[in-house]
Every structure is written in structure tokens, then in C-alpha cells.
């Protein structure tokens, strides 16, 4: 659970990993640095490499959407493990927007009919095992979860 | 992400390694915009690609359309499981020429 970061006995890095939060300006130029942060938060946990890729894709899609369309000034990213789930929470102070309720794009269109865009959020919904959205005050809270591989095989 | 180019007459092979996503997709777009003159066959080798996000799909779609429009072809080679998963979810496995 939430232990102090500077506990002298247990390995410090481990505790900090359990629940890591980062607050950043909603600017695309920050994307890469925050992805490194997300990756480091989950490496070494019971999250497969493949699932780390999925989490990084999800972060790319949601964060870039927030930066481009939401008028948010700030984004807070939280990464934590809860039992056998990896949880990635993205919080922003932009326009109310629930990505989980977006209509699904038609993914059966031909090459000629395909237009760029609209696929990112759809990918996130398909790749994550679950998610919740909440609007609290003037902030969006999107929480995405992935069960660890072991859990999925049961 | 890294892009290595190999050119042979009208054939261009791009070896794209690493992550093709929002922060790196513009680099691939630049190659597509500037290096396709006289090319009729574009091979994109993604063997060393870790994953692709929708920003990367956008560039692959534009490149496929561009090659088709000029009577050529773009093919994608050696996609790993993560990359294939994204192609399948989005239906891109049907519209890109995956070899």
C-alpha cells in the first residue's frame, strides 16, 4: 500500500513503483518523456512486455487526443498495480469527453474509403481489458486496466 | 525510431525499427514525402518495430495510397505480434499489403 518513499529498510525503488504519479503540461512535446515514465512504472511488475506496449499505445492515443482537442492545460498520469491489474489513469482539465462512449469507426472500409483518424480511441478500447470514465468538477478521469497474463489464462 | 533506407533502381526498402507513434510518425512521413520519386516498389520492413499507434497507421495508410495512386505498390514485411494485433483490430490487415 502507500508506504513513505524514503523508508530505510525496504528497497525504495519498489515502493515508488507501486504508485507513481506525474503531472505535466498538456503538450505533445511531453509525450515521449511521459511514455518513458509509464514504461518505467510497469517494468518489473507482473505486466508482460506485450501489455507494456499496449499501455504505451493507449497513453499515446489518449494523451495526444487531450493535447489536440480538449483545451486542457495540464494532465496527470497515474500508474499503479492493484492485485493482478495494471492501472493507468489519465486525468485532464479539458473539455468533458468520454472516450469510452465514442461511436465505433467502421473498420471494414476499403483502402480508398479510409480516412486518417478516428482509430486511436477505438484501438484503446479494444486493447484494454476494461476502463472507467468520470467527470469530476472540471476534470476528466479516464482509468484503463489490463489484467496480468497469468490472470487472463485462468 | 530509426529508418534505414536501401535503394535499388525503382525499389526502395525502408527498415523501420523501434516505436512508430505520435512522436516518431512525422519522421516516416518526411521520408514518404521526399524519397518516393521514381519508386514503384516500396517495401516497409517492420521486423524490428516494437509497436505502432494510430499516428503510425495514418502514415502507413497515406504511403499505401500514394504508391497505389502512382501505379506502384507498398508492401509490409515481418510484422510482429504486437504490430499485427493493431493491424487486425483496425482492419488494416485487409487494406495494407502485408507479406
pLDDT digits (tens, 9 = 90+) for A33-43: 999 999 999 99
Residue A12 has pLDDT above 80, yes or no: no
Residue A14 has pLDDT above 60, yes or no: no
pLDDT computed for residue A114 by the predictor: 77
pLDDT computed for residue A116 by the predictor: 62
Tell me the residues of chain B between 40 and 79 that have a Cβ less than 8 Å away from chain A: 50-55, 57-58, 61-62, 64-65, 68
pLDDT computed for residue A27 by the predictor: 96
Q: Kindly provide the ipTM of the predicted complex, given to two decimals.
A: 0.92
CA dihedral A110, A67, A32, A103 (to 10 degrees): -30
DSSP per residue, chain B: -EEEEEEETTEEEEEEEEEESTTTHHHHHHHHHHS-TT--EEEEE-TTEEEE-HHHHHHHHHHHHHHHHTT-EEEEE---HHHHHHHHHHTHHHHSEE-
Measured between CA atoms, how close is B9 to chain A, in angstroms?
27
**What integer best gives the mean pLDDT of chain A?**
85
For the segment A101-127, what is each residue's pLDDT rounded down to a tens digit? 887 888 888 877 876 667 899 999 999
CB contacts, 8 Å: B54 with chain A = 61, 117, 119-120, 123
Measured between CA atoms, how close is A65 to chain B, in angstroms?
10
Measured between CA atoms, how close is A82 to chain B, in angstroms?
24
Give A6's pLDDT tier (boundaries 50, 70, 90). Answer: very low
Residue A154 has pLDDT above 60, yes or no: no
Measured between CA atoms, how close is B19 to chain A, in angstroms?
9
Q: What percent of chain A has pLDDT over 70?
A: 82
CB contacts, 8 Å: B53 with chain A = 57, 60-61, 120, 123
Among B52, B53, B58, B91, which would you mutate to test the A interface (most chain A Cβ atoms within 10 Å of its Cβ)? Answer: B53
For the segment B25-54, what is each residue's pLDDT rounded down to a tens digit? 999 999 999 999 999 999 999 999 999 999
Amino acid at each position: 500500500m502507500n508506504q513513505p518513499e524514503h523508508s530505510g529498510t525496504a528497497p525504495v525503488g519498489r515502493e515508488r513503483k507501486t504508485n507513481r504519479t506525474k503531472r505535466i503540461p498538456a503538450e505533445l512535446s511531453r509525450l515521449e518523456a511521459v511514455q518513458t515514465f509509464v514504461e518505467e512504472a510497469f517494468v518489473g511488475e507482473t505486466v508482460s512486455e506485450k501489455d507494456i506496449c499496449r499501455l504505451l499505445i493507449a497513453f499515446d492515443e489518449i494523451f495526444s487526443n487531450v493535447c489536440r482537442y480538449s483545451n486542457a492545460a495540464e494532465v496527470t498520469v497515474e500508474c499503479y498495480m492493484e492485485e493482478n491489474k495494471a492501472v493507468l489513469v489519465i486525468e485532464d482539465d479539458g473539455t468533458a469527453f468520454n472516450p469510452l462512449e465514442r461511436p465505433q469507426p467502421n473498420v471494414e472500409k476499403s483502402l480508398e474509403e479510409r480516412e486518417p483518424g478516428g482509430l486511436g480511441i477505438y484501438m484503446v478500447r479494444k486493447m484494454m481489458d476494461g476502463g472507467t470514465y468520470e467527470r469530476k468538477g472540471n476534470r476528466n478521469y479516464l482509468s484503463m486496466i489490463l489484467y496480468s497474463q497469468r490472470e487472463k489464462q485462468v | 525510431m530509426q529508418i534505414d533506407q536501401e535503394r535499388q533502381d525503382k525499389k526502395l526498402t525502408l527498415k523501420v525499427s523501434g516505436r512508430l507513434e505520435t512522436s516518431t510518425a512525422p519522421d516516416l512521413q518526411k521520408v514518404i514525402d521526399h524519397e518516393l520519386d521514381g519508386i514503384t516498389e516500396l517495401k516497409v520492413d517492420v521486423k524490428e518495430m516494437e509497436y505502432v499507434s494510430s499516428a503510425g497507421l495514418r502514415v502507413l495508410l497515406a504511403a499505401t495510397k500514394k504508391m497505389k495512386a502512382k501505379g506502384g505498390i507498398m508492401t509490409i514485411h515481418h510484422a510482429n505480434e504486437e504490430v499485427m494485433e493493431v493491424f487486425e483490430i483496425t482492419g488494416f490487415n485487409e487494406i495494407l499489403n502485408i507479406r
